[in-house]
């Protein structure tokens, strides 16, 4: 039925897709938490602490899934892609090594203090621990994106007997696509976390929560989304231009350009036909693709015909790219619409709150679609020009890979169900339970029965 290569690809895609969802949230959520904590220290307003305490639990659970699904990755390179490390291990190894040494330990080492140490260390040390965790998550993105970008646009190495050796580490790390990919991913994480916070806060408001904390977090999240959404479009455009320079075949597939043409139209929709090398049902804006990519209405865009046998499959790229851009545009519209409404001091209408709830995980969709564009867009190469995916694969019996893949898929379905269920359970619990505890610096508040929220882990 399936061969080991195909099964290994499916397994890697499943593992990395599931894993990336969680760091995408925690990279930026950690900075939100640092901000909440910092504001609490500055103002002494208990609402900041309540926001912190609610979101730190969601952070903990998201982080835990990120850590344990990440362990899988460190085994998988060797088990399923042995030639990868044998060919480019001299480059990939140290970058992964630095990620573990500088980022993983930093996050995990201070996470305990951040989560459970508030009463055991001074406020300053606790805030510092929160900051260090945030720095750790971001550093982790730095190293892993350096490696991924090097695989897309390798430089700074030399080949000896078919094995890559490092020559210039700075050139390897700061390879041409790295700055764009890193900023694109960090901002994607910011948008993902912002829409998650906005969505869950909106959910609490819809459930009749009239506490201050969800209103505050909704406002902050929308402010961040409002700034990041246009910024992301700008960065995405620069990233696209960079790709056009270094991986033109990827752009040709994304835009569905089968033959080199001047004044290429921007396809809003089409059904690419790989067999006949053409598109059906095109809906296009004339000359726009040329204008966006070359800033010239008559600019030339290289078509897939120039990369015969050396370009990625067209349909997945074409559609994934449109999903990413579509979600991004929706984020832009909704964040501006909601934030302006709040700015005019009007409460958000129910339909808008519902849209925000529906968009809680929209960042995941856009991020995954974006990664599919960049990763499928590198095919047939694993490392551009150095190693193809086919040559890197293992020779393990397909039955074994099929078994492990099935186990992973079942596991992921269970985990995702439990994760989503738990987040909404926590939101519901926060609606029902008064969150004020005695050890907060509260102005005298009249409460008939202050019920403590269960802080128990």
Looking at residues 426 to 445 of the shown chain, list those that interact with other proteins (rule: CB under 8 A): 426, 437, 439
CB of 182 closer than 8 Å to CB of 142: yes
CA-based nearest residue to 57, from 422, 411, 358: 422
Cα–Cα distance, 385 to 151 (Å, whole number): 9
Q: Binding segment for other proteins among 36-44, 272-280, 322-330, 406-414 (CB under 8 A)?
A: 406-414
Member of 35, 38, 41, 102 binding other proteins (CB under 8 A): 102
Binding string, residues 20-59; x marks residues near other proteins by CB under 8 A: -----------------------------x---x--xx--
- Of 64 and 285, which CB lies nearer to other proteins in the complex structure? 64
Element (H, E) at 166: strand 163-166
Packed helices 398-432 and 178-206: angle between N→C axes, nearest 10 degrees = 50
422 lies in the site for other proteins, by CB under 8 A:
yes
Cα–Cα distance, 287 to 316 (Å, whole number): 23
- Of 277 and 421, which CB lies nearer to other proteins in the complex structure? 421
Tokens of 369: 């679609």
- Could you give the 3-state DSSP secondary structure of residue 278? strand
165 lies in the site for other proteins, by CB under 8 A:
yes
123 lies in the site for other proteins, by CB under 8 A:
no
Cα–Cα distance, 113 to 127 (Å, whole number): 10
Cα–Cα distance, 179 to 402 (Å, whole number): 37
Member of 6, 43, 109, 447 binding other proteins (CB under 8 A): 109
- Of 133 and 185, which CB lies nearer to other proteins in the complex structure? 133
Binding string, residues 56-95; x marks residues near other proteins by CB under 8 A: xx--xx-xxx-xxxxxx-xx-xxx--x--xx--xxx-xx-
- Of 365 and 426, which CB lies nearer to other proteins in the complex structure? 426
100 lies in the site for other proteins, by CB under 8 A:
yes
Member of 5, 29, 33, 113 binding other proteins (CB under 8 A): 113
Element (H, E) at 300: strand 300-301
Taking the complex as a whole, how short is the minimal distance between the CB of residue 155 and other proteins, in angstroms? 16
Q: What are phi and psi of 174, to 5 degrees?
A: -95, 55
117 lies in the site for other proteins, by CB under 8 A:
yes
Cα–Cα distance, 40 to 52 (Å, whole number): 9
- Of 35 and 77, which CB lies nearer to other proteins in the complex structure? 77
- CA angle at residue 103 from 229 to 62, to 5 degrees? 60
- Of 241 and 411, which CB lies nearer to other proteins in the complex structure? 411
């Amino acid at each position: 039925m399936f061969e080991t290569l195909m099964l290994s690809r499916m397994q890697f895609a499943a593992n990395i897709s599931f894993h990336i969802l969680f760091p995408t949230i925690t990279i930026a959520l950690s900075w939100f938490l640092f901000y909440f904590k910092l504001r609490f220290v500055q103002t002494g307003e208990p609402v900041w602490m309540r926001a912190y305490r609610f979101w730190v639990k969601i952070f903990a659970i998201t982080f835990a899934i990120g850590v344990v699904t990440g362990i899988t990755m460190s085994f998988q390179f060797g088990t399923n892609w042995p030639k990868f490390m044998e060919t480019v291990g001299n480059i990939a190894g140290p970058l992964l090594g630095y990620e573990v040494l500088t980022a993983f330990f930093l996050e995990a080492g201070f996470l305990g203090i951040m989560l459970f140490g508030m009463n055991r260390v001074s406020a300053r040390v606790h805030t510092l621990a929160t900051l260090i965790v945030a720095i750790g998550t971001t550093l982790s993105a730095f190293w892993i994106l350096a490696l991924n970008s090097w695989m897309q646009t390798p430089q700074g190495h030399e080949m000896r007997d078919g094995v890559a050796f490092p020559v210039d580490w700075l050139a390897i790390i700061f390879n041409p696509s790295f700055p764009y990919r890193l900023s694109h991913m960090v901002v994607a994480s910011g948008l993902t976390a912002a829409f998650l916070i906005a969505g869950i806060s909106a959910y609490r408001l819809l459930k009749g929560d009239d506490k201050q904390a969800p209103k505050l977090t909704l406002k902050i999240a929308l402010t961040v989304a409002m700034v990041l959404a246009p910024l992301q479009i700008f960065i995405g455009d620069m990233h696209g231009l960079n790709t056009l320079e270094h991986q033109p075949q990827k752009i040709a597939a994304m835009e569905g350009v089968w033959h080199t043409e001047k004044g290429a139209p921007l396809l809003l929709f089409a059904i690419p036909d790989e067999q006949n090398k053409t598109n059906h049902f095109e809906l296009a804006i004339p000359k726009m693709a040329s204008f966006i990519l070359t800033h010239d209405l008559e600019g030339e865009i290289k078509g897939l015909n120039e990369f015969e046998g050396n370009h990625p499959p067209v349909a997945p790229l074409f559609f994934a790219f449109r999903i990413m851009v579509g979600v991004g545009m929706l984020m832009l519209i909704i964040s501006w619409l909601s934030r302006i409404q709040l700015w005019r001091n009007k409460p958000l209408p129910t339909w808008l709150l519902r849209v925000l709830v529906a968009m809680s995980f929209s960042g995941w969709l856009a991020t995954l679609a974006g990664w599919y564009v960049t990763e499928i867009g590198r095919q047939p190469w694993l490392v551009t020009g150095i190693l193809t995916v086919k040559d890197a694969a293992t020779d393990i019996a397909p039955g074994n890979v099929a078994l492990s893949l099935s186990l992973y898929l079942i596991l992921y379905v269970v985990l995702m169900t439990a994760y989503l269920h738990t987040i909404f359970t926590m939101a519901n619990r926060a609606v029902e339970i008064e969150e004020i505890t005695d050890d907060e610096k509260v102005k005298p508040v009249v409460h008939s029965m202050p019920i403590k929220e269960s802080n128990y882990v």
